[in-house]
Amino acid sequence: MRFDRKILIWEGNLSKTYLAYDKKLSKNVILKEYPKENREYAQKEYNILSKIKYKTPEVYEFFEDENYLCIVREYIPGKTLRELIEEKSQIPPNILLFICYEILRFLDFIHSKGEFNGDITPSNILIGFDGTVRILDFAKSEELITPEYYDKNEKKDISADLKALGKIIDKICKNESIKEISKKAQQGKYKNPSDFISDIIKVIPKFDIALEKDLSMFVIGQEKYNTENNTRKLNENITKFLKNIGIAVVSFALGVVFIHSLKFIKNKSAPEMEKTNEKNISNIEESNQTSTELKNQQEPERLTESSKRLAEATSVIIQNTDPKGSITKETQNVKTVKETNEIQRKAQNDEKEKTRSEKTKESKENRNAGIITETKIRQEENEEKYGYLFINTVPECEVWINGKYIDKTPIVNLKIEIGEKEIEFRTEDKSEKTKLHIKSEEKIFLFADLKGKKIEIKKELAEKTETQQNK
């Protein structure tokens, strides 16, 4: 038997579609089987697929066996638009616009060949894990109708395809500017794809421009396009921002109250401080007078230590006083004490200001150093350190990476850290190994034929296929 490990993925009224391993081609393929009584439909589909080789899976072969007419086509790992709609709560506008633009390019191409599709539905649109958009099938017959998107009373043509695309957009989009375009399409105002494309191009600059890489990340489920996570994070950021604003307002209000309190206390205590200073000056004058009298009477044994210091200070001041001056000894002494206190106060203020300046400079340097360190850490954390690995095998087996069990085939898709990896395929009676080097953001598609001991590797960055024989 040519085809092994057939997995039914779709069953319609006219045909059945399988994912299977083709021993002749040594790769996974899509096998579509038509009963012989549906020969006309099978022949029409093969003819149109052979004619249109743009944004459609490649057709390998068309043949007849004992029971069926078979079309063998390229297998493209990915998800249909229907699966994405069911899986995601919503599709971002820029991603939707990119998908629509790619579909319109396809419709514009077949329109230039005088053809139409007849089956522009979410189930017939495939989004590859590599970010490419493909149209899977044609439905040329008037009998093959999807009522949700095509009117059975209207003739199938390119205008009907554009209306169907408008219905798809209206179903999954909430943005008003994009909905306006979908309404025009559903009303039949676009007679050809180029007019539809022109309106799409006008709307695209309103959003972030999406490319194949962005679509790939969205299909795989990368956090950047996880809209539920983005909404939650936005709410958290808003809450945090409002909390910080509240703290700032409260701090400002407390600062204003504190400043006014200081002014009130200062104004209230100023008269009392003046009275205290006058009292201190009066006491100093009395002490000076007493020390002078004691000196003149030559009775030093009765002086206390404090009186001696005052007397000595008074003596120095008297000696340095200009004889012609009109200031009295007591007044001169009080003035000198005030000047001394003022000099000491100024020196203390200068010292405090110097200390404060040094601390401010040191704090600023530490803060700048902390910001630089934190920035470096964030840059290192934001570096992409993962690639993507998609595995198919025949027969089914367990997949182990670096000695750790991952999952069971036929299909295994995963996000994987960069670096050297040893991939092991284990069945009940044998084990095959191969080594891969995973690069950042690289997508690797790996198919293992364990019976034939062949491993096919497709790397998106290298854009070439390698086949290696395990020893």
The residue assigned the tokens 């995973």 is: 438
CATH classification of the domain holding 31 = 3.30.200.20
Note the pLDDT of residue 81: 93
Query: 114 versus 141: which is more confidently predicted?
Result: 114
The rounded mean pLDDT for the chain is 77
> Would you say 11 and 54 are in contact if contact means Cβ atoms under 8 Å apart?
no
Residue-by-residue DSSP string for 61-110? EEEE-SSEEEEEEE---EEEHHHHHHHSS---HHHHHHHHHHHHHHHHHH
Residue 286 reports pLDDT greater than 70: no
User: From CA 79, how far away is CA 130, in angstroms rounded?
Assistant: 11
> Model confidence at 267, in pLDDT bands (50, 70, 90)?
low
Determine, yes or no, domain membership for 294.
no
Residue 327 reports pLDDT greater than 60: no
Note the pLDDT of residue 340: 62
Determine, yes or no, domain membership for 328.
no
Q: Label residue 50 left, alpha or beta by phi (over 0 means left) and psi (-120 to 50 means alpha).
A: alpha
Note the pLDDT of residue 376: 56
Note the pLDDT of residue 80: 93
User: From CA 187, how far away is CA 401, in angstroms rounded?
Assistant: 54
Q: Are residues 83 and 218 in the same domain?
A: yes
pLDDT tens for each residue of 355-365: 776 666 665 66
Quick one: tokens of 11? 């069953």
Q: Which residues pair with 468 in a beta bridge?
A: 455
Mean pLDDT of all residues in 229-255: 68
Mean pLDDT of all residues in 59-70: 89
Query: 315 versus 112: which is more confidently predicted?
Result: 112
Q: Are residues 218 and 89 in the same domain?
A: yes
Q: Are residues 166 and 93 in the same domain?
A: yes
Query: 227 versus 167: which is more confidently predicted?
Result: 167
Q: Total domain count for the chain?
A: 3
> Model confidence at 167, in pLDDT bands (50, 70, 90)?
very high
Query: 458 versus 201: which is more confidently predicted?
Result: 201
Note the pLDDT of residue 120: 93
Q: Are residues 119 and 66 in the same domain?
A: no
Q: Are residues 126 and 165 in the same domain?
A: yes
Residue 316 reports pLDDT greater than 50: no
Residue 432 reports pLDDT greater than 60: yes
- Cα of first residue to Cα of last residue in the chain, in angstroms, is 26
Note the pLDDT of residue 320: 47
Determine, yes or no, domain membership for 213.
yes
Which of 20, 44, 74 lies at the terminal end of a domain, its last residue? 74
Nearest residue to 98 (alpha-carbon basis) of 220, 221, 203, 181: 203
Host domain of residue 56: 3-74
Residue 346 reports pLDDT greater than 80: no
Residue 287 reports pLDDT greater than 60: no
User: From CA 314, how far away is CA 310, in angstroms rounded?
Assistant: 6
Q: Which of the residue ranges 46-55, 275-284, 398-407 would you say has the lowest mean pLDDT?
A: 275-284
Q: Are residues 56 and 11 in the same domain?
A: yes
Which of 198, 223, 248 lies at the terminal end of a domain, its last residue? 223
Q: Are residues 84 and 180 in the same domain?
A: yes
CATH classification of the domain holding 438 = 2.60.40.10
> Model confidence at 326, in pLDDT bands (50, 70, 90)?
very low
Residue 318 reports pLDDT greater than 70: no
> Model confidence at 209, in pLDDT bands (50, 70, 90)?
confident
Determine, yes or no, domain membership for 172.
yes
Using CA atoms, how far residue 460 sits from 59, 64, 362, in Å, is 21, 35, 52
Residue 331 reports pLDDT greater than 90: no
Note the pLDDT of residue 471: 36
Note the pLDDT of residue 317: 42
Using CA atoms, how far residue 77 sits from 123, 128, 196, 225, 286, in Å, is 15, 6, 29, 20, 105
Percent of the chain with pLDDT over 90: 24
Which of 200, 223, 246 lies at the terminal end of a domain, its last residue? 223
Residue 230 reports pLDDT greater than 60: no
The pairing of beta strand 398-401 with beta strand 125-128: unpaired
Query: 340 versus 106: which is more confidently predicted?
Result: 106
